[in-house]
Structure 1
């Protein structure tokens, strides 16, 4: 069926809600039940248990969306906008995918894709369902929530028969067929309820809405907006709010704010600011409408915000223009709220949307701005469950009756937003959160931190142990795959943290810190228990180089039964980590503790021994030689009249001489990686140095260094000299060409172009940190095969370059991270020993514990609680179920299968693409997961692998698996359909029959 949603009948909706709640204590996959207290607010003459809910958008387009939102704490529902263009005509205008909420939010859709009659039917079904749930599930009062209609986009459309009927029916629905259908079904099935009665059904109000929000398109003239408001107030006698855009702030304010907050890459022209409603026109209009509503005994206000249009520049969505929302929109929206509050001395009622979330909701409401509707935060992992935390927070603080807006409070909130860590763009763009694998049809649960780690460290296992205070067991888990817990616990590139799902909540679990914590707390106890391997199997292995990859190789080889000797040319183990990386990054004591772990395995070490001949070692009886020699040659950067000092050589000298190196007063470091950051920080600590400059041809946003390293450099007073390309050094100055950023590619990386101008930077010493190179001559001298770039050619599975000779770490493909060196060591050691050198640990996790953390954002926490923040995705992932507004991805419990399986429900999906964003795999669940189709026709219209149920009693289904569909009986074995998929289909029919239309 593709992106066409099919509405469920009220009977199916109610059966789904009742049966799922009874079986699993969830409602449409949401786990965070919110129970309202006795206290209520009042707006539009009606009660409201909490002043928050979903905005007019993806979370209010179907009945099940509204139900899920209510269950988790929403009580004010701004229903998705209706307009005269609807259904297939409108859907054809919406490019898919249409939502991108990875960080700040973007979308290119605007109003309901259903027909207006179908949308109205969904809202009425939801109205009935919420009344039932309020009492049946004990969630609150039956009059504790409100619906608000959103209509657009011009007066002619609103006066059309279609929209006019919609407005009239939503105000007085008693004569509507859907209203009668819902009422009759409840009366005929009253025995299905424990607490809900016939009298309750008969008391459900037919007056659904008494408030409307006007949504207008960009460029709508002020007289048109005022005409619509006048019409709704005088002709329909309905409380009316007008949506306002941040364009009221003016282009200069918006551009300056976005640039200062790190959103300089966000492109938008000034034409919308010129075409949209102007502030000078808005103020008198709002004044007139306030007076009119007062005379009519109605409420008038503004809704901030409607949309903020920006250009598509990085292929974010398949559109030319998109609407920005979320964290980046908040400082603009709240600034407009502050400006209008001041203009009207707090008397103008303001409803709010635009980046509201758990971190700012109490300050927004506390300033007198409510109701507040949200969207972007609900589109992130945790989904609707995030509402419960916000609702609980507001309940704890209490809600005061509206008595005007606190101008001072909202003004301060607007100023604070521009510096708030939750809204300022991080110094670095988001790394790719996905792993390279495609999502499987079954058993797709996995921990992205582990999948992203080169050695697939059992992060969730040791996190759970550390959280329970079992540090010895945690360190034992770590040591199974990682013999360098102190080095990796201090300077690991932590790709695991880049992949962590918590990035989409607030910040990642600080996995590296927890590893170091376990190592520090359990080191002595574990070292006592760490047993030297027994008798070796007679095979001897030589490791050339005692850096991290060599140390790791020796550990795995020795633990596997080999007699191992490391040959190290320096006087200590650790390689670059010990001899180049400064002490302020990692201490000698930490490195020595990892070295002691290696020696505990019985590994012999010969220091001051530089090996250049494989033959020499083999003549000594070594069966295998492991080159872990590193990449020791300086990178190439030639200036016109001077060769810069190499960063590695400087750092080595700096460390050996404890900073007593003569560099002069002004030092320039060329480069943008972590080595450049180390070099700049070391130079700053060098005796006699007054100024250190980091020169890079792009801006710091595009530097490859870790964000934390960039922050440290900035905090230490090192000056970034961005957009400069070095040319020459003369008279104590570095001459550079000035550059400018050009167009961005799809990855978000900007091109760079020369401007024709030059600039000089004071430079007594210039240090180049542009990477190191492999010593090709060493491998060439030993007869190892090289490619045309001078790199060793080794078997990718074993890393064997010639018989009995393995190459690992930096020396294989160039500079690598420590953990990549450990990965190479595992692979090569296993190949030589011809057996596994690490264990595959079982992934355990309490579902209840996992679900309890979903949707809960951290506020303030102690470092000791860090391990407890882990969501244990290895036990429960379900990101795709969390983030689907339409609840079209369902986690199904299948008898005989360890974890819940994901079934995609075709008829509930409009292919918004949100599940693709947050699936940790390089896949889109709405296309790639096993799909339930409503019927054969829908199956024919889709390319998804999946099934449709032909006969429930017989369990006869039609299945498509990578080809043409086949018809089978589930009770019959069929080799064409894996047993696991047959179990999933059987579970859907047997236990989740309400999913089948």
Structure 2
């Protein structure tokens, strides 16, 4: 490593966020540019540790110490080559990944970890700036045709890898533009869509075909896809939202989070003029304490909500690790997002009981009660606290408590794929019960992270390549990964 004592010389620094009062007036990226000299210092903090646990923490297996050192040495060509060897889209993960690699950083034992996500983003952007990322079509073609259904991170990664292997790849997307969750699920203040457009254009130049407004199973028959392509990858995500089964959840003004976020992204992208769900002047309740709930907060603030309250069933986490949560475990600490900074009341250990409505069938309030968590028979459970039940004003509610699996729209059945009791499709090494059809991303593994989806797309591509050609030169994980995964997906 170029600076073996950099972690002793420099403190962790991250980009400055624009003032909340300014940024809630637009949907632009919230961070100020990070100075080049400071980035060099951050790369220098990566120490010459004996076992770089960050490798294990990253689902993609990014070779982090090596690209950090390349940044410290100002060798941007080497940095992007190292990063691109494991990650197809560092410009995405460098903006929206929760950075499990940083949670695994050895510095985290007694210091702040290396700013790996920040460095990754800057490698990608510097590479584009210097012309180090260019269209690179395959030199030869195999004559095999592959259909990718879904253009989210898993579908795009599979398409990119299979195209590099020389196959003719066509991506089908039901919406007007490619990107899936990246485009229609993540707000622009976290990921501006020009970043996606830039990558899609590059993939087109390399030979990948994108067909949008194509809802396979509806306006395009699955049987036609099966007949015209040598292999199919299903990567349509886990779109079935988990319902909140309480009285009044069918009232007007109670929505699943993605109904709101998706429409707002269409507004920002110029696809529609206005969001049919408006938070302006309303008392907004967000149920769920994860990233999707946070996105609803940021978007509601930009609408001009009168008040925003976020409800979380779990207890409030500590600000720092406790002795019961040591490194290298995932830090179960309080996360404060940019959306939280912009204005919200956060309530923990709270149970929603019933939505209250008026005669017009509109939501007007939410009945809730405080709870106390405790361990019982070796499991965590909770009890309602007597005398704490109350009703709070609610004009608009967003349910953001996760996703149960793939959309139940008949797509899997149309492709002859068997489904397990938990609604996830059966698979072995990404191959479904129909040998010609492969599965990838959240559709296969359930709700997860964008970085996992990219990893899934890469691994699925290897299996498709082997199916078509008998062997594959694409990079892949070792067999132990597949043994565990096959057990999970009912095909061991």
TM-score interval for Structure 1 and Structure 2 normalised by the shorter chain:
0.7 to 0.9
Asked if 1:712 is matched to 2:338, the reply is: yes
Task: Confirm or deny: 8 A CA contact 1:677 1:709 kept in the other structure.
Answer: no
Q: Specify the SS of the correspondent of 2:336.
A: helix
TM-score, structure 2 normalization: 0.75
Quote how far apart the aligned CAs of 1:528 are.
5.7
Quote how far apart the aligned CAs of 1:713 are.
3.7
Equivalent positions of 1:578-589 (< 5 A) are: 578-589=183-194
Equivalent positions of 1:328-727 (< 5 A) are: 446-526=51-131, 529-612=134-217, 613-620=221-228, 622-643=229-250, 644-658=254-268, 661-663=277-279, 664-687=281-304, 689-701=305-317, 710-727=336-353
For 1:474 and 1:463, locate their aligned partners in 2 and report how far apart those are by CA, in whole Å.
7
Which residue in the other structure is 1:786 paired with? 419
For 1:822 and 1:666, locate their aligned partners in 2 and report how far apart those are by CA, in whole Å.
37
Asked if 1:755 is matched to 2:385, the reply is: yes
Equivalent positions of 1:126-145 (< 5 A) are: none
Q: Specify the SS of the correspondent of 1:803.
A: coil
Quote how far apart the aligned CAs of 1:445 are.
5.1
Quote how far apart the aligned CAs of 1:735 are.
0.4
Task: Confirm or deny: 8 A CA contact 1:668 1:763 kept in the other structure.
Answer: yes
CA RMSD of aligned residues (A): 2.8
Q: Which has the higher contact order (CA 8 A, sep 6+)?
A: 2
Task: Confirm or deny: 8 A CA contact 2:317 2:334 kept in the other structure.
Answer: no
Change (3 A) 1:709 1:599: farther
Which residue in the other structure is 1:58 paired with? none
Task: Confirm or deny: 8 A CA contact 1:667 1:693 kept in the other structure.
Answer: yes
Q: Specify the SS of the correspondent of 2:418.
A: coil
Deviation per CA, 1:199-256: give whole Å up to 9, x if none.
xxxxxxxxxxxxxxxxxxxxxxxxxxxxxxxxxxxxxxxxxxxxxxxxxxxxxxxxxx
Equivalent positions of 1:76-115 (< 5 A) are: none
Quote how far apart the aligned CAs of 1:523 are.
1.1
Quote how far apart the aligned CAs of 1:575 are.
0.7
Task: Confirm or deny: 8 A CA contact 2:238 2:443 kept in the other structure.
Answer: yes
Q: Specify the SS of the correspondent of 2:172.
A: strand
Task: Confirm or deny: 8 A CA contact 1:680 1:713 kept in the other structure.
Answer: yes
Task: Confirm or deny: 8 A CA contact 2:154 2:235 kept in the other structure.
Answer: yes
Equivalent positions of 1:32-47 (< 5 A) are: none
For 1:730 and 1:570, locate their aligned partners in 2 and report how far apart those are by CA, in whole Å.
35
For 2:445 and 2:80, locate their aligned partners in 1 and report how far apart those are by CA, in whole Å.
30
Task: Confirm or deny: 8 A CA contact 1:739 1:752 kept in the other structure.
Answer: yes
Change (3 A) 1:785 1:592: same
Change (3 A) 1:468 1:801: farther
Which 5+ residue runs of structure 2 have no aligned equivalent? Answer: 10-48, 269-273, 320-329, 358-363, 467-471, 478-492
Aligned residue pair count = 397
Q: 1:810 aligns with which of 431, 438, 442?
A: 442
Quote how far apart the aligned CAs of 1:651 are.
0.6
Which residue in the other structure is 2:399 paired with? 768
Change (3 A) 1:839 1:724: closer
Which residue in the other structure is 2:452 paired with? 820
For 2:109 and 2:391, locate their aligned partners in 1 and report how far apart those are by CA, in whole Å.
42
Change (3 A) 1:467 1:492: same
For 2:430 and 2:413, locate their aligned partners in 1 and report how far apart those are by CA, in whole Å.
20
Between structures 1 and 2, the one with greater helix share: 1
Q: Specify the SS of the correspondent of 1:794.
A: coil
For 2:79 and 2:334, locate their aligned partners in 1 and report how far apart those are by CA, in whole Å.
26
For 1:816 and 1:481, locate their aligned partners in 2 and report how far apart those are by CA, in whole Å.
19
Which residue in the other structure is 2:354 paired with? 728
Which residue in the other structure is 2:489 paired with? none
Deviation per CA, 1:365-408: give whole Å up to 9, x if none.
xxxxxxxxxxxxxxxxx9xxx9xx9xxxxxxxxxxxxxxxxxxx
Task: Confirm or deny: 8 A CA contact 1:785 1:793 kept in the other structure.
Answer: yes
Task: Confirm or deny: 8 A CA contact 2:415 2:437 kept in the other structure.
Answer: no
For 2:232 and 2:437, locate their aligned partners in 1 and report how far apart those are by CA, in whole Å.
5
Task: Confirm or deny: 8 A CA contact 1:629 1:811 kept in the other structure.
Answer: yes
Task: Confirm or deny: 8 A CA contact 1:551 1:598 kept in the other structure.
Answer: no
Change (3 A) 1:522 1:560: same
For 2:165 and 2:211, locate their aligned partners in 1 and report how far apart those are by CA, in whole Å.
21
Task: Confirm or deny: 8 A CA contact 1:799 1:824 kept in the other structure.
Answer: no
Task: Confirm or deny: 8 A CA contact 2:351 2:368 kept in the other structure.
Answer: yes
Which residue in the other structure is 1:217 paired with? none
Task: Confirm or deny: 8 A CA contact 2:318 2:332 kept in the other structure.
Answer: no
Q: Specify the SS of the correspondent of 2:384.
A: strand
Deviation per CA, 1:570-619: give whole Å up to 9, x if none.
12221111112111111112222232343343211111111124421122
For 1:529 and 1:722, locate their aligned partners in 2 and report how far apart those are by CA, in whole Å.
48
Deviation per CA, 1:727-777: give whole Å up to 9, x if none.
11225221002212324999xx96432113302222111110011231243
For 2:109 and 2:77, locate their aligned partners in 1 and report how far apart those are by CA, in whole Å.
31
